[in-house]
Amino acid sequence: MTRLEPIDHFIDGVTTPSADGATMPSVDPTTRRPWAEVALGAEQDVDRAVEAARSAFDHGPWPRMTQQERSALLRRLSEVLPANAAELGMLDTVDMGRPFSLTRTNDVQRSAANLRFFADHAAMAADDSLPGQPGHHVYTRHEPAGVVAAISPWNFPLMQETWKIAPALAYGNTVVLKPAEQSPASATRLAQLAVEAGLPPGVLNVVHGVGPEGAGQALAAHPGVDLITFTGETRTGEAIMREAAAGVRAVSFELGGKGASLIFEDADIERAVAVAADAAFANAGQICLAGTRILVQRTVYDQVVERLVKTAGQLRLGDPREPATEVGPLSSAEHHAKVTAHLRRAAEDGAVALTGGARDGWWVAPTVLVDTTPEMRITQEEVFGPVVTIHPFDTEDEAVAAANATRYGLSAMVFTSRLSRAHRVAGRLRAGNVWVNCFWVRDLRSPFGGYGHSGVGREGGRYSREFFTEAKTVVMNV
């Protein structure tokens, strides 16, 4: 697939090139060749986008509509996405290598569900009326906060973008989205579809470009931005937080992870291995929530290792456009270099691969590493590839301590058939999301975020409402 038209910014309802005409290539990780030229945004493009969003917020209809009107438009957009599923799915597949069988179905449906959920949540949200002191009436309002900067990663492009945009828009804000430079295509198309669905110009703007010293940094630093919602690496979060300090802008961060899957001897082992393998290798391991450390009670360790190695070896690598493909290439040359460097260092440190390793092109086969120690870099650092370490434990205390022994705290999976253990261990894990006998089942009403280096704040349901609105108290002497 080669695209003749460049992928432009989308500002004030119109696709538009960079002011200086600069572009960057988007590389298809399957062919390792550029498939599209993308507008390379700079400060002046960010200025234009923020001005458009500011003007739409200060003077446009969006924050002034009734909630029912706003929610109706977002619901219409949620219906437009599945109608364009093949196109949207292919844009993400060509940009970052995720299998088309999933981008076209799961990702588009979950993106539509994000929009529908927040349209409904905002429509249902109520404020408080409080019995005040005698002669007084007190009530609260949640008002749109202003211009939101949404800075997103490449691992599920459309899904990540809608997870940010849906609540920001539903609660009446306007948005400037900066998608990851590796996966820009679906964002511009989403913004075009939003205008076709009836969203007023300037409500959702997209600026493409790189992060440091590019559009990302310029957007985070822009004084016209009121709130920043960011998903990406922890180090990038630190850089954005420094920018946000000027003007004391609020941030909501979903950052890196180093999740653990804890398999106890009383678990349904067959099911536990299937779910733990999915948690480790889905999306070629490029999931912040991935269970990259599997901790197994020693009595069932050999059995689990044997099954896991077999399951990993059976996953089908291939062209992500082919329906049978389960593991696509890694998203970019830089990312492939990073993951393979992790594998080399792990081997130098003494880890042994029972299966997997680098393949031709940018594929890495699902890799299972043993003989690792808790201190090794492979056990501590986020790899963001299809690589899992597997460690034995004897007691529940030991398992919990090992799971908690990283600076991250995003996800953990517990496999057990004992109810008391499930609750007890879930309570002791330092992780924002704990799944018991399952993985990645989401209820959009629940808080999503991480402990420690995995994030700041929570999004989802009323947590998103808190972040994306200004709460006001009105006290009346009547």
Contact assessment for residue 371 and residue 379, using Cβ atoms and an 8 Å cutoff: no
| 283 sits near ligand NAD (criterion: CB under 6 A) | no
255 versus 296: smaller Cβ distance to ligand NAD: 255
CB of 466 to ligand NAD, least distance (A): 18
Find how far residue 123's CA is from the centre of its chain: 25
188 versus 416: smaller Cβ distance to ligand NAD: 188
CB of 152 to ligand NAD, least distance (A): 6
CB of 217 to ligand NAD, least distance (A): 4
Opening angle at CA 69, ends 13 and 109, nearest 5 = 70
Count Cβ atoms within 10 A of the Cβ of residue 270 and give its class: 0-12 exposed, 13-18 middle, 19 or more buried: exposed
* CA neighbor of 316 nearest in space, from 306, 307, 302, 327: 327
CB of 334 to ligand NAD, least distance (A): 9
Contact assessment for residue 178 and residue 214, using Cβ atoms and an 8 Å cutoff: no
Q: Which of 180, 199, 279, 312 binds ligand NAD (CB under 6 A)?
A: 180
With the C-alpha atoms ordered 61, 63, 64, 66, is the resulting torsion angle positive or negative? positive
97 versus 455: smaller Cβ distance to ligand NAD: 455
Q: Which of 240, 279, 346, 369 binds ligand NAD (CB under 6 A)?
A: 240
372 versus 411: smaller Cβ distance to ligand NAD: 411
| 154 sits near ligand NAD (criterion: CB under 6 A) | yes
| 216 sits near ligand NAD (criterion: CB under 6 A) | yes
220 versus 277: smaller Cβ distance to ligand NAD: 220
Q: Is 267 left (phi over 0), alpha (psi -120 to 50) or beta?
A: beta
Which residues have CB under 8 Å from 469's CB, separation 6+? 142, 143, 144, 145, 171, 172
- Compose the 376-415 pattern: x for residues touching ligand NAD by CB under 6 A, - for all others: ------x-x-------------------------x-----
Q: Which of 233, 319, 371, 398 binds ligand NAD (CB under 6 A)?
A: 233
73 versus 330: smaller Cβ distance to ligand NAD: 330
Residue-wise DSSP of 442-474: --TTS-B--SGGGEES-BSHHHHHHHHEEEEEE
Residue nearest to ligand NAD (CB): 211
How many other CB atoms are there within 10 angstroms of residue 218's CB atom? 24
- Compose the 249-278 pattern: x for residues touching ligand NAD by CB under 6 A, - for all others: -----xxxx---------------------
Which residues have CB under 8 Å from 131's CB, separation 6+? 138
Contact assessment for residue 214 and residue 24, using Cβ atoms and an 8 Å cutoff: no
Residue 234's H or E segment, with its range, is helix 234-245
Taking CB under 6 A as the binding criterion, the range among 64-72, 122-130, 176-184, 271-279 that sits at the site for ligand NAD is: 176-184
Residue 348 annotated among the catalytic residues of the structure: no
- Which candidate in 51, 161, 243, 288 is catalytic? 288
- Compose the 408-447 pattern: x for residues touching ligand NAD by CB under 6 A, - for all others: --x-------------------------------------
CB of 473 to ligand NAD, least distance (A): 32
In the chain, the amino acid numbered 386 is P
| 7 sits near ligand NAD (criterion: CB under 6 A) | no
Residue 288 annotated among the catalytic residues of the structure: yes
CB of 243 to ligand NAD, least distance (A): 7
How many angstroms separate the CA atoms of 176 and 165, rounded?
9
Three-state SS annotation for 41-104: CCHHHHHHHHHHHHHHHHCCCHHHCCHHHHHHHHHHHHHHHHHCHHHHHHHHHHHHCCCHHHHH
19 versus 456: smaller Cβ distance to ligand NAD: 456
Q: Which of 111, 186, 188, 236 binds ligand NAD (CB under 6 A)?
A: 236
- Which candidate in 161, 254, 382, 459 is catalytic? 254
Contact assessment for residue 382 and residue 287, using Cβ atoms and an 8 Å cutoff: no
- Residue 214 DSSP code: S
Contact positions vs ligand NAD (CB under 6 A): 151-155, 178, 180-181, 210-212, 216-217, 220, 231-233, 236, 239-240, 254-257, 288, 382, 384, 410, 450, 454-455
Instruction: Give the catalytic positions in this structure.
Output: 254, 288
